[in-house]
Amino acid sequence: MNVRAIVLAAGKGTRMKSGTAKVLHEVCGRPMLWYVLQALRAAGITEMIVVTNAELQGRIGEFGVAGVLQEEQLGTGHAVRTALDAMKPDETGRVLVACGDMPLVDAAIFSAVLSASDGRALALVTARVPLPSNFGRIVRRDDGVERIVEARDATAAELEIDEVNAGIYAFDETALREAVGHLRNDNAQKEFYLTDTVADLVRSGKRVIPVVTSDTVGVIGVNDRIELALARQELNRRLCAKHMLEGATIVDPQSTSLEPELKIGRDTVIYPNTSIARLSEIGERCAIGPNSRLSNARLGDEVTVRESSFFDSSAGDRTSIGPYARIRDDSRLAQDVRIGNFVEVKNSKLARGVKASHLTYLGDADIGEETNIGAGTITCNYDGKRKNKTVIGRDVMIGSNTSLIAPITIGDGALTGAGSVVTKDVPAGQRVAGNPAKPLPRK
Ligand code: UD1
Ligand code: CA
């Protein structure tokens, strides 16, 4: 079966009351559209075209799919026509139509509707939902669908129908091209409704097959920010469930925020009020949280991150961070590093066994193995014009409250006294103290 998908995503999204296109609103760190495209790919569909508005068209490259601009949003039927006009006709092809505002949709539903459409003009997904509902209503004849009526055009009796249109369709391409050509916009919204193709096909003697899904949550279309929050809650619940089933302990899923595409190793424990984002990879037996934010974090095994933020950085096995630390901007912490409270590490490399336990700023620094950074140490990396580098060797003792005026190099095994202001490089083994720091006599 030759299948191409059309994803409808040009809608104004009026009910979001937003300056951003609806399908670009994020759920668990990804735009809604991303989830729909993932599900289509998971169903084995490789050819797809997204119907876009101007804003989305400008960003469609991010999604790795083709977009076609629908200049005026004249309705879902008009959107499909716009896509068909941009597609080379395939007389024997199938066209799967889905909406870009269904972030919870599952690949299985696409596969189901496609196989039900085999040899038919149209199969579409329906669901039984509690009323009232804004979904279009399915008017049945016998075991087929006779027509779909939009909630805004429905009579009181039709509004009582609790079988609704999920907005997922598998069409015979030739039948679709013909039916779309017949659409009119004489309805409450003055739009060309894709849903009117159903009555058109039935009139021409075709049968429209309903595929009733029990996955009523999966077919939720997000139209406003209340539904956006509901979708996020459900998706986050699923993400937490996935990682728990794979061996991570999540103490309180409700206050834990996850995203797709994370790696969390076995026996890692996530404590409450913690969010993990952007392709983070966490090893085994780690302890993360409470009250922590990780984004694009790469952690080895047995790493601890307590009440801290950890962005765009990595840490090796057994390294411990926090409480109240901030690690950011491509910092690379090796194994057995200890970062204590009120320590900020920015764009720095800390070798195995480095300790900075209290009240410290390490920016643009490169620190050797087993070096101890005393409380209150500051790398003075900014001279008002540019950021300068601090290089500290191995087995160095930086005394409490040392200021290191970068660019500067402190040699292996050196020592700075408490309160030193170090303005010049210190050779290996040298001990310095004072402001400005001067060499101390050798012991
Ligand atoms: C639509 C269906 C309704 C169904 C519901 C399921 C129609 C007329 N109604 O209603 O029967 O129950 O979806 O969620 O199809 N879009 C465009 N261009 C347009 C208009 C819309 O691309 O000109 C896109 C939107 O971005 C959206 C999708 O089509 O992703 C659906 O549009 P929306 O306005 O949300 O339709 P509903 O009112 O939800
Ligand atoms: Ca919708």
Task: Indicate the Cα dihedral angle 259, 260, 266, 268, nearest 10°.
Answer: -10
**For residue 152, what are the CA distances in angstroms to 45, 134, 159, 190, 355?**
33, 8, 9, 11, 65
Q: What angle, rounded to 10 degrees, do the helices at 76-86 and 173-181 form?
A: 120
- How many A from CA of 362 to the centre of ligand 1? 52
pLDDT band with cut points at 50, 70 and 90 for residue 12: confident
Of 190, 181, 5, the residue nearest 81 (C-alpha): 181
Find out whether the beta carbon of 165 lies less than 6 Å from any atom of ligand 1. Answer: yes
For ligand 1, atom 16, the nearest C-alpha belongs to: 11
How much is the pLDDT for 305? 98
Which residue reads 């500051």 in tokens? 378
For residues 242-267, b (16+ Cβ closer than 10 Å) or e, as one string? ebeeeebebeebebbbbbbebbbbee
Per the listing, tokens 């779309």 go with 180
Pocket test for ligand 1, best of 7, 8, 137 (most atoms within 8 A of CB): 8
CA–CA dist 185, 191 (Å, integer):
5
183 lines ligand 1 (CB under 6 A): no
Q: How far is the CA of 273 from the centre of ligand 2 (A)?
A: 32
> What's the mean pLDDT in 398-424?
98
Q: Which residue has a Cα nearest atom 37 of ligand 1?
A: 135
From the alpha carbon of 150, which atom of ligand 1 is closest? Answer: 11
Cis peptide, bond prior to residue 436, ω within 30 of zero: yes
216 pLDDT band, cuts 50/70/90, is very high
Provide the residue ranges of all domains of the chain, joining segments of one domain with +: 3-212, 246-342, 348-443
- 3-212 shares its CATH topology with 348-443: no
How confident is the model over 107-151, as pLDDT tens digits? 999 999 999 999 999 999 999 999 999 999 999 998 899 999 999
* pLDDT tens-digit map of 186-200: 999 999 999 999 999
> What letter would DSSP give residue 151?
G
Q: Which atom of ligand 1 is the closest one to the Cα of 100?
A: 30
High-pLDDT (> 90) share of the chain, %: 98
Rounded to an integer, the average pLDDT of 245-256 is 98
For residue 361, the one-letter residue type is: Y
Please, what sign has the CA dihedral across residues 192, 161, 152, 203? positive
Q: How far is the CA of 42 from the centre of ligand 1 (A)?
A: 23
The pLDDT score that the predictor gives to residue 442 is 73
CA distance linking residue 365 with residue 403, whole number of Å: 13
CB of 193 sitting under 6 A from ligand 1: yes
φ, ψ for residue 205, nearest 5 deg: 90, 10
CA distances 258 to 24, 301, 308, 436, Å, are: 18, 19, 16, 49
Q: May I ask the CATH architecture of the domain 348-443?
A: 3 Solenoid (2.160)
Task: Report which residue type is found at 336.
Answer: D
Which atom of ligand 1 is least distant from the CA of 189?
Answer: 8
Q: What is the CA radius of gyration of the chain?
A: 30
Distance 146 CA to ligand 2 centre (A): 21
Query: Which ligand is closest to the CA of 99, given by its number?
Result: 1
**Mean pLDDT calculated for residue range 278-286:** 98
Which residue has a Cα nearest atom 3 of ligand 1?
A: 136
Please give the pLDDT value at position 1: 75
With pLDDT > 70 as the criterion, what percentage of the chain qualifies? 100
Residue with tokens 């939902």: 129
Q: Candidates 3.30.530.20, 2.30.40.10, 2.160.10.10, 2.102.10.10; correct CATH number of 246-342? A: 2.160.10.10
169 lines ligand 1 (CB under 6 A): no
* Closest protein CA for atom 13 of ligand 1: 167
pLDDT at 135: 95
Q: Which two tokens stand for residue 74?
A: 């004249």
13/31: higher pLDDT: 31
Contact 11 CB / ligand 1 (< 6 Å): yes
Does 210 score more than 80 pLDDT? Answer: yes
Atom of ligand 1 nearest to the CA of 194: 15
Task: Give the other-Cβ count within 10 Å of 197's Cβ.
Answer: 30
| Predicted local distance difference test score (pLDDT) of residue 316 | 98
Give the model confidence (pLDDT) of 76-119 as tens digits: 999 999 999 999 999 999 999 999 999 999 999 999 999 999 99
Strand 66-69 to strand 144-149: parallel, antiparallel, or no bridges (unpaired)?
unpaired
Q: For a substitution probing ligand 1, which of 6, 70, 81, 99 has the most ligand atoms within 8 Å of its CB?
A: 99
Specify the pLDDT at position 443.
Answer: 67
- CB 194 near ligand 1, within 6 Å: yes
Quickly name the fold that domain 3-212 has. Spore Coat Polysaccharide Biosynthesis Protein SpsA; Chain A (3.90.550)
Q: Does the beta carbon of 348 lie inside 6 Å of ligand 1?
A: no
Q: Residues with catalytic annotation?
A: 358
Helix axes 32-42, 107-116, angle to 10 degrees: 50
pTM of the predicted model, to two decimals? Answer: 0.94
| Nearest ligand to the CA atom of 145 | 1
Average pLDDT over residues 327-350: 98
Map 374-414 to HEC letters.
Answer: CCCCEEECECCCCECCEEECCCCEECCCCEEECCEEECCCC
Q: State the distance from the centre of ligand 2 to the C-alpha of 248, rounded, in angstroms.
A: 35
